[in-house]
Amino acid sequence: MELQKNSTTPAGPVLGIETSCDETAAAVYDAERGLLAHAVHSQVALHARYGGVVPELASRDHLRCLLPLVDGVLADANVKGPELGAVAYTAGPGLVGALLVGATAGMGLARAWGVPAIAIHHMEAHLLAPLLEDAPPAFPFVALLVSGGHTMLVDVAAFGAYVVLGQTVDDAAGEAFDKTAKLLGLPYPGGPELARLAGQGAPARFALPRPMLKRPGLDFSFSGLKTAVMMQVRQLEQHGGPGEQDRADLAASFQAAVVDTLVAKSLRALDATGRDRLVVAGGVGANEQLRAQLRDALEARGGRVYYPRIAFCTDNAAMVALTGYLRLSAGARPSTSVQAHPRWDLAALARQE
Ligand code: KG4
Ligand code: ZN
């Protein structure tokens, strides 16, 4: 993306810090040389036995891992702290304790090194992640953000100009994958496990609802779908099931219902906005069935779908560093205090401009 330099454009590489949920991540991005280094420490093993993220354990593990990760990426990038142009940290939305670890570390390091710090919106970072790739999407585009915490369609007219077109009224798509996986007895985190099991199943075996598809509008609802799977499991239990094949068929039928809904609403959003580029980001964007159906659907209408590489679909700091660079270059003011916003509306971010 071509940007005019101004007085707030970072004068050196940007360090990104991400601690909003259960991944500790650090990265160094340079406008001229690209991504210089990135590292992610996943807490999956830590939370697995609880079947979900335990916020207090997440905060403590971020504390333990963050500074060594930062040292590691600075060494990999061959950059010293004071040579950085800025430090960008995720300020929300997310778990408040987890966010505070990254925010206080980010502010503290920036102060110590005498460089500006900038607070970053996690969902903005997700939707800009494809700009890190070799053939990035040009603005404008529609973004489908599908993660464990969010499901939303956003019209992106330009950098910083975001209009939320629709979002989930209950569970996020990733959350629905995780909860349904649990119902099917799959280990945490369930999304990728369910997708794997679905590969062995028949998607047409169980007629599950395509939530909110018949209604106009661009909102989503996934909690009824999870309940529909639960009802099927109960029925199968009455007959001694569900057996191996039943579980695979249920997984495939569930995945098909979620993917059909996400694809149909994405196309509806493209129609409503007149855009022909779709950006998909967030953990569920790693789902192969979703990727295949969207690719075919966009090809059929002469449009194109863009993804970050799989590692940057899920939480990472490369997207945070890039967003920090873009925000500062666009004239955003650096943080003067520690910012941590567990709830932070993307539309409110656009209004701040
Ligand atoms: O973006 P992300 O790493 O974290 C959040 O900010 O939430 O997304 C994680 C979510 C989880 O719910 C996970 O189950 C889901 O993405 N996920 C998948 C797949 N890989 C990750 N869901 C479906 N299919 C996948 N292949
Ligand atoms: Zn995320």
Instruction: Report whether pLDDT(2) > 60.
Output: no
Domain co-membership, 270 together with 153: yes
Give long-range contacts, CB 8 A cutoff, 24+ apart: 335-339. 335/91, 335/107, 335/116, 335/117, 335/118, 335/119, 337/107, 338/100, 338/103, 338/104, 338/107, 339/91, 339/92, 339/103, 339/119
Q: Which of 290, 307, 324 is the last residue of a domain?
A: 307
CA-to-CA distance for 306 and 176, rounded, in angstroms? 24
Residue 134 lies in a domain: no
Residue 175 Cα: closest atom of ligand 1: 12
- 289 CB less than 6 Å from ligand 1? no
Instruction: Report whether pLDDT(194) > 80.
Output: yes
Residue 2 lies in a domain: no
Domain co-membership, 78 together with 52: yes
The CATH number of the domain holding residue 288 is 3.30.420.40
> 28-57: per-residue pLDDT in tens?
999 999 999 999 999 999 998 888 889 999
Domain co-membership, 54 together with 173: no
CA-to-CA distance for 109 and 128, rounded, in angstroms? 25
Closest CA to 315 of 63, 64, 75, 62: 62
Domain co-membership, 260 together with 335: no
Q: Which of 19, 43, 144, 147 to mutate to test the pocket of ligand 1 (most atoms within 8 A of CB)?
A: 147
Q: How far is the CA of 284 from the centre of ligand 1 (A)?
A: 4
Q: What is the pLDDT of residue 62?
A: 97
Lowest mean pLDDT among 5-14, 72-81, 244-253, 267-276: 5-14
- 174 CB less than 6 Å from ligand 1? yes
> 287-340: per-residue pLDDT in tens?
999 999 999 999 999 999 999 999 999 999 999 999 999 999 999 999 999 999
77: its two tokens: 């990038």
Residue 23 Cα: closest atom of ligand 1: 3
- Provide the domain limits for residue 326: 14-129+313-351
Tell me the residues surrounding ligand 2 (ion) with CB < 5 Å.
147, 315
Domain co-membership, 256 together with 222: yes
Q: What is the pLDDT of residue 7?
A: 76
Q: What is the pLDDT of residue 180?
A: 96
Domain co-membership, 166 together with 86: no
Residue 189 Cα: closest atom of ligand 1: 14
Domain co-membership, 168 together with 22: no
- 94 CB less than 6 Å from ligand 1? no
Based on the structure, what is the number of domains in the chain?
Answer: 2
Residue 153 lies in a domain: yes
Mean pLDDT, all residues of the chain: 94
Residue 44 lies in a domain: yes
Residue 8 lies in a domain: no
Domain co-membership, 27 together with 67: yes
Q: How far is the CA of 283 from the centre of ligand 2 (A)?
A: 7
- 286 CB less than 6 Å from ligand 1? yes
298: its two tokens: 């966009």
Domain co-membership, 166 together with 293: yes
Residue 320 lies in a domain: yes
Cis peptide before 93, with omega less than 30 degrees from 0?
yes
Domain co-membership, 280 together with 323: no
Domain co-membership, 301 together with 325: no
Domain co-membership, 18 together with 124: yes
- 147 CB less than 6 Å from ligand 1? yes
Residue 4 lies in a domain: no
Give the ligand at the shortest distance from the Cα of 281. 1
Q: What is the pLDDT of residue 347?
A: 80
Q: How far is the CA of 180 from the centre of ligand 1 (A)?
A: 13
Q: What percent of the chain has pLDDT over 90?
A: 89
Is the Cβ–Cβ distance between 26 and 324 less than 8 Å? no
Give the ligand at the shortest distance from the Cα of 286. 1
Among positive and negative, which fits the CA dihedral 223, 261, 42, 38? negative
Residue 152 lies in a domain: yes
Q: How far is the CA of 216 from the centre of ligand 2 (A)?
A: 28
